[in-house]
Amino acid sequence: MRSHARAVVIGGGVVGVSVLYHLAKIGWTDVVLLEKNELTSGSTWHAAGGVTTLNSDANVSKLQKYTFDLYRELEQVTGQSCGIHHNGGIYLAASDGQMDFLKLIHSRARTLGMDTEMISVADAKARNVLIDERHFTGALWREDGGYVDPWLVTQAYVTAARRLGAEVQRFTKVEALVQRPDRTWDVVTDKGTINAEHVVNAGGLWAREVGRLVGLELPVLAMEHIYVVTEPVPALKGLPREIINTSDFTGEIYLRQEGEGVLLGTYEQACKVWAPKVTPDDFHGRLLPDDLERIAPELERGFRHFPALAEVGIKKVVNGPFTFSPDGNPLVGPVEGLPGFWCACAVMAGFSQGGGIGLVLSRWMAEGDPGQDVLAMDVTRYGHFATPRYTAIKVQENYRRRFRLTYPNEEMPAARPLRRSPVYGALDAAGAVWGNNFGLESPLWFAPEGVAKAETPTYRRSEAFGPVGDECRAVRSAVGLTEITNYGKYEVTGRGARAFLDRVFACRIPRPGRMALAPMLSPRGRIIGDLTIACLAEDRYLIVGSGFAERFHMRWFADRNPPGDVFVRAASSSYAGFALSGPKARDVLGALADFDVSAEGFRLFGVREAPVGLSPAIIQRCGFTGELGYEIWVTPDYLPQLYDDLTAAGRDFGLRLYGGRAVSSLRLEKNYGSFNKDFRPDYTAAETGLDAFVDFAKTVDFTGRAAVLAERETGPKRRFVTFKVDAPHADVVGYEVVLKDGKPVGHVTSGGWGHAVGCSLAMGYVPTALARDGETFAIDILGVECPAVITARPLYDPEGARLRS
Ligand SMILES: Cc1cc2nc3c(=O)[nH]c(=O)nc-3n(C[C@H](O)[C@H](O)[C@H](O)COP(=O)(O)OP(=O)(O)OC[C@H]3O[C@@H](n4cnc5c(N)ncnc54)[C@H](O)[C@@H]3O)c2cc1C
């Protein structure tokens, strides 16, 4: 056995072999895959092999499209078949909500350059004769996808990887992982030890156990999953081609042709966790006992929706386990504190996603950057809140809802409320309708007396429209108060803090008593974060950003190697706070503060440490609504007192509570983009407009400097813009296509209704040549091509006078 490798991939399922192939392809030929049994013997061998290119996250869709196209490439490279059946797919809808979802997906597919079409049920039946048309109202057809042979695909990856010099060692179990002081890993196996710079956990069914070898408890869990294969179906005999792969949301059924019969699977409501604590080491090439009782309700529905199946027998039942993360997306990427340890786990659709995961992970390992936005799959999206019990609850919720749509205004209820701020009870009593961010409850909107604290899930405007509008108008006309405990917070302290931040951020680092808008760039000049830095003292900084990105940003800070005199600490649970916003905000703060809050005494982007009412606080003069505003931070034990003081002082000024939905609307009216929605690692500083906050004059070689300087010379290819949209029926959700003269030219990143300006707004990217004030477009919103016009200046307070007042 060899004693050294640049990288060791643990696991010979479809994901591990893809990672191996892509590492070899990128030029890392000194790589070895270790498989403790036979290749495919975990989840891979018994998969149905279905491949789809559509996903609720557009970036994951791109990787799925890449995966499907890769199979042809592998066939060409190796001369080996992958068993590709390129028969496309249809999604059957049976309700208005499902139709809206399909129209949204169709609009997004146009953005991604994928071939899809809304079709009638009769057209769907022409592609799958088994459909009983009476149960459906419409369908979406996609050209890409079909199904492949799991064993052949795995072999093709391995053959291609070996030809490039990679090695595969079967029947070799990784038993321990020991990191040396030089950060390399000793991969201890039952056949000897390999020292490697990098280790990839592609352990599939055993990913949890491989994580435990390095002290990680990954949020991953296996579920049992059943599909059946029928006897030959007479209706399929003699057809010129196979029926199309079919997904039936209402039936919670997927099916495809298998020989002359049909393979039918379901995500049953009576779902079952498999191996909740430890995966048996010897579970190789094995299946679980048939359990048709468990899927009986779904089977009955399937037989109603596809009646010919009720007339034939079941030839084979496959019940096998495969793994999920709490939201069903994979866990990919490096782990903070474990340099050289990489995850490629919780892949519940290995045949749709495995190729894309191999691609981004290999780039990430070799080039330090995944090459595209992978936030939706990033292992850092789970924090400490994702305990094994949380994972078990959420994974089951996700499994049961696999065929149930999650609407943009819908919040998943399981394992909630989990993290609660000290004012949760008070805000709940005030009518808060809750959303969830990184496990923490935060108010979306407030239901006034007599209004139910609930919303109908929809792609259109909901019951919250009226109350959210009232909240927005209160902020614009008087003053509003919203809890911001859900923001991500970091403390950077120590003698070297300023120099460190100067290297990590692209902006000028503020002087004591000031704060700055702070873009953080990747070496390629892409947006890694859009944060604020407040300088409390030369050696003490409070950084605020998106709550969901806490682990993501902590990993980023750690990767920038803070020197010994710099301490970086995640402070999200150490600070809680409120934003006070509106023309009367100063009056409310003035009633509670003993320092000079006048426009001259406390200027925009000033920061103070001073009591507010009875609470010691940090006060920042900033906000996300475009109004005069303050963000007030206290330690969580003071939050109820701060709340009492602010609401009491605000009573005379018409203070009203507002939630995240109102913030989203208010910021749209000011053309403010938001990290995660509008600003993501796919976009550059100049594309987003965040280059306005880059300190081009600073001599420090900050991360992304060369890229941002180069882009200043060439100019960006596309630009972030705000559109006023004529959309009477609905607002955009995200990733809808932007059309010019009927042709896709851009895409939407976010949007909604502007309550103060009285129109629908959308944000997104278009080519620079078209990014002009007044330029007209159409945006496909739920199947309607809505006129949209760029409004380069904010529709609300274009001069920014209110913010500075
Ligand atoms: C019934 C069923 C139907 C499915 N249908 C589809 C479908 O239609 N389309 C689709 O895309 N997906 C489908 N899937 C899911 C698919 O099977 C998985 O997404 C995929 O197999 C995951 O591959 P993997 O490489 O991550 O894991 P695995 O296949 O489990 O591979 C992990 C490998 O790691 C090895 N290993 C683990 N620990 C060690 C160690 N310590 N040392 C050495 N080796 C180790 C294991 O032996 C194993 O071979 C289905 C799953 C089931 C159960």
The confidence score (pLDDT) of residue 779 equals: 98
Average pLDDT over residues 477-499: 98
pLDDT in tens, 427-482: 999 999 999 999 999 999 999 999 999 999 999 999 999 999 999 999 999 999 99
Closest to 505 (Cα-Cα) out of 554, 560, 575: 560
Indicate if the pLDDT at residue 754 is higher than 90.
yes
H-helix or E-strand spanning residue 281 = none
pLDDT-derived band at 405 (thresholds 50, 70, 90) equals: confident
Residue ranges with strand state E in 114-191: 116-119, 138-142, 146-147, 167-169, 174-179, 185-189
Cα(708)–Cα(685) distance, integer angstroms: 7
Indicate if the pLDDT at residue 56 is higher than 90.
no
Q: Give the Å distance between the CA of 109 and the centre of ligand 1.
A: 28
Answer yes or no: is the C-beta of 357 below 6 A from any ligand 1 atom: no
Token pair 């306005």 in the structure block, residue: 692
Answer yes or no: is the C-beta of 318 below 6 A from any ligand 1 atom: yes
Atom of ligand 1 at shortest range from CA of 225:
1
pLDDT-derived band at 28 (thresholds 50, 70, 90) equals: very high
pLDDT-derived band at 22 (thresholds 50, 70, 90) equals: very high
Average pLDDT over residues 772-797: 98
The confidence score (pLDDT) of residue 394 equals: 98
Q: Could you give phi then psi for residue 92, rounded to 5 degrees?
A: -100, 130
Answer yes or no: is the C-beta of 37 below 6 A from any ligand 1 atom: yes
pLDDT in tens, 643-654: 999 999 999 999
341-344, Cβ contacts within 8 angstroms, sequence gap of 24 or more = 341/177, 341/185, 341/198, 341/199, 341/201, 341/214, 342/198, 342/199, 342/200, 342/201, 343/200, 343/201, 343/207, 343/211, 343/218, 343/379, 344/15, 344/16, 344/19, 344/200, 344/201, 344/202
Average pLDDT over residues 14-40: 98
pLDDT in tens, 603-653: 999 999 999 999 999 999 999 999 999 999 999 999 999 999 999 999 999
Q: Could you give phi then psi for residue 474, rounded to 5 degrees?
A: -65, -40
Q: Give the Å distance between the CA of 15 and the centre of ligand 1.
A: 7
The per-residue b/e assignment along 498-531, b for 16 or more CB within 10 angstroms, e otherwise, is: bebbbbbbbbbbbeebbbbebbbbbebbbbbbbb
Q: Give the Å distance between the CA of 324 and the centre of ligand 1.
A: 11
Q: Are 680 and 373 in contact (CB under 8 A)?
A: yes
Answer yes or no: is the C-beta of 46 below 6 A from any ligand 1 atom: yes
The confidence score (pLDDT) of residue 268 equals: 97
Answer yes or no: is the C-beta of 105 below 6 A from any ligand 1 atom: no
pLDDT-derived band at 1 (thresholds 50, 70, 90) equals: confident
pLDDT in tens, 129-174: 999 999 999 999 999 999 999 999 999 999 999 999 999 999 999 9
The confidence score (pLDDT) of residue 433 equals: 98
The confidence score (pLDDT) of residue 612 equals: 98
pLDDT-derived band at 585 (thresholds 50, 70, 90) equals: very high
Answer yes or no: is the C-beta of 247 below 6 A from any ligand 1 atom: no
Answer yes or no: is the C-beta of 85 below 6 A from any ligand 1 atom: no
Answer yes or no: is the C-beta of 148 below 6 A from any ligand 1 atom: no
Q: Give the Å distance between the CA of 200 and the centre of ligand 1.
A: 15
Indicate if the pLDDT at residue 288 is higher than 90.
yes
Answer yes or no: is the C-beta of 320 below 6 A from any ligand 1 atom: yes
DSSP annotation string for 308-358: GGGGS-EEEEEEEEEEE-TTSS-EEEE-TT-TTEEEEE--TTHHHHHHHHH
pLDDT-derived band at 360 (thresholds 50, 70, 90) equals: very high
Distances (CA, A) of 633 to 481, 513, 576: 13, 15, 6
pLDDT-derived band at 311 (thresholds 50, 70, 90) equals: very high
User: Can you give the length of the chain in residues?
Assistant: 805
Neighbours of 431 (CB within 10 A): 17
Cα(492)–Cα(541) distance, integer angstroms: 5
* Helices 350-367 and 58-78, axial angle in degrees (round to 10): 90
Average pLDDT over residues 541-564: 97
**Token pair listed for 259:** 């020989």
Q: Give the Å distance between the CA of 361 and the centre of ligand 1.
A: 17
The confidence score (pLDDT) of residue 338 equals: 97
Mean pLDDT in the chain? Answer: 97
- Write the burial class of residue 605 (CB in 10 Å: 0-12 exposed, 13-18 middle, 19+ buried): middle
